[in-house]
Amino acid sequence: MYEMMTGLPPFYSEVLSEMYQNIVAGDLVFPSDMTDEVLAPFDRRAPIFICVQACDLLAGFLDRDPKTRLGGEEVRQHPFFEDIDWDALDKRESMHPVCACVLFSHSS
Protein backbone atom coordinates (compact mmCIF):
# COMPACT_ATOMS: atom_id res chain seq x y z
CA MET A 1 0.00 0.00 0.00
CA TYR A 2 2.90 2.36 0.81
CA GLU A 3 4.48 1.68 -2.57
CA MET A 4 1.17 2.18 -4.40
CA MET A 5 0.74 5.58 -2.73
CA THR A 6 4.32 6.82 -3.01
CA GLY A 7 5.82 4.98 -5.96
CA LEU A 8 8.65 3.68 -3.75
CA PRO A 9 8.96 0.80 -1.33
CA PRO A 10 9.11 1.77 2.35
CA PHE A 11 12.64 2.20 3.72
CA TYR A 12 13.97 2.51 0.16
CA SER A 13 17.63 3.03 -0.69
CA GLU A 14 19.49 2.37 -3.93
CA VAL A 15 22.17 0.67 -1.82
CA LEU A 16 20.81 -2.74 -0.82
CA SER A 17 22.70 -2.93 2.49
CA GLU A 18 21.37 0.52 3.45
CA MET A 19 17.83 -0.56 2.58
CA TYR A 20 18.19 -3.63 4.83
CA GLN A 21 19.44 -1.39 7.63
CA ASN A 22 16.53 1.00 7.05
CA ILE A 23 14.09 -1.91 7.32
CA VAL A 24 15.59 -2.97 10.63
CA ALA A 25 16.12 0.43 12.25
CA GLY A 26 15.33 3.33 9.89
CA ASP A 27 12.56 5.87 10.24
CA LEU A 28 9.55 5.57 7.98
CA VAL A 29 9.83 8.44 5.49
CA PHE A 30 6.97 9.88 3.44
CA PRO A 31 7.49 11.74 0.13
CA SER A 32 7.36 15.24 1.59
CA ASP A 33 10.33 14.20 3.72
CA MET A 34 12.24 12.49 0.90
CA THR A 35 15.22 14.15 -0.67
CA ASP A 36 15.53 14.82 -4.40
CA GLU A 37 18.44 12.36 -4.39
CA VAL A 38 16.13 9.53 -3.28
CA LEU A 39 13.41 10.49 -5.76
CA ALA A 40 15.75 11.15 -8.74
CA PRO A 41 15.67 7.64 -10.27
CA PHE A 42 11.87 7.63 -10.42
CA ASP A 43 9.61 9.18 -13.00
CA ARG A 44 7.37 11.72 -11.26
CA ARG A 45 4.55 12.84 -13.54
CA ALA A 46 2.48 14.39 -10.78
CA PRO A 47 3.24 15.77 -7.35
CA ILE A 48 2.68 13.37 -4.48
CA PHE A 49 0.37 14.26 -1.65
CA ILE A 50 -0.54 11.72 0.99
CA CYS A 51 -3.18 12.71 3.52
CA VAL A 52 -2.53 12.53 7.24
CA GLN A 53 -4.93 9.59 7.63
CA ALA A 54 -3.06 7.59 4.97
CA CYS A 55 0.31 8.35 6.59
CA ASP A 56 -1.05 7.24 9.96
CA LEU A 57 -2.50 4.04 8.45
CA LEU A 58 0.76 3.16 6.70
CA ALA A 59 2.79 3.91 9.83
CA GLY A 60 0.45 1.58 11.74
CA PHE A 61 0.89 -1.21 9.19
CA LEU A 62 4.67 -0.79 9.17
CA ASP A 63 5.11 -0.59 12.95
CA ARG A 64 7.96 -2.96 13.83
CA ASP A 65 6.38 -3.94 17.16
CA PRO A 66 3.73 -6.62 16.55
CA LYS A 67 1.99 -5.66 19.82
CA THR A 68 1.32 -2.10 18.63
CA ARG A 69 1.06 -2.77 14.87
CA LEU A 70 -2.31 -1.91 13.31
CA GLY A 71 -4.38 -4.97 12.53
CA GLY A 72 -7.75 -6.66 12.77
CA GLU A 73 -10.76 -4.52 13.57
CA GLU A 74 -8.49 -1.50 14.11
CA VAL A 75 -7.98 -1.37 10.35
CA ARG A 76 -11.71 -1.15 9.64
CA GLN A 77 -12.13 1.55 12.30
CA HIS A 78 -9.21 3.65 11.09
CA PRO A 79 -10.15 7.20 9.90
CA PHE A 80 -8.68 6.44 6.45
CA PHE A 81 -11.60 4.04 5.89
CA GLU A 82 -14.33 6.15 7.53
CA ASP A 83 -16.44 6.29 4.34
CA ILE A 84 -16.43 2.52 3.83
CA ASP A 85 -19.58 0.57 4.70
CA TRP A 86 -17.81 -2.63 5.68
CA ASP A 87 -21.00 -4.65 6.22
CA ALA A 88 -22.29 -3.81 2.74
CA LEU A 89 -18.87 -4.50 1.28
CA ASP A 90 -18.66 -7.88 3.05
CA LYS A 91 -22.09 -8.77 1.63
CA ARG A 92 -21.01 -7.55 -1.81
CA GLU A 93 -23.82 -5.02 -1.77
CA SER A 94 -21.53 -2.12 -2.60
CA MET A 95 -18.46 -1.56 -4.69
CA HIS A 96 -15.12 -0.74 -3.17
CA PRO A 97 -14.29 2.95 -3.57
CA VAL A 98 -11.47 2.50 -6.06
CA CYS A 99 -11.88 0.58 -9.28
CA ALA A 100 -8.69 0.02 -11.18
CA CYS A 101 -8.93 -0.36 -14.91
CA VAL A 102 -6.22 -2.59 -16.32
CA LEU A 103 -5.74 -2.77 -20.06
CA PHE A 104 -3.75 -5.55 -21.66
CA SER A 105 -2.27 -5.38 -25.10
CA HIS A 106 -1.05 -8.36 -27.00
CA SER A 107 1.72 -7.80 -29.49
CA SER A 108 1.95 -10.08 -32.48
What's the pLDDT at 29? Answer: 83
Q: Any residues with CB less than 8 A from the CB of 38 and at least 6 apart, and which?
A: 8, 12, 13
Residue 39 and residue 25: Cα distance in Å, rounded?
21
Query: Which residue ranges form the domains of the chain, and what is each CATH number?
Result: 2-90 (1.10.510.10)
Q: Which helix (H) or strand (E) holds 55?
A: helix 52-61
What's the pLDDT at 46? Answer: 46
What's the pLDDT at 62? Answer: 94
Tens-digit pLDDT profile for the chain (108 aa)? 988 888 889 999 989 999 999 999 999 888 765 555 555 555 554 456 778 888 889 999 999 999 999 999 999 999 999 988 889 988 888 766 665 555 555 554
pTM above 0.75, yes or no: no
What's the pLDDT at 90? Answer: 87
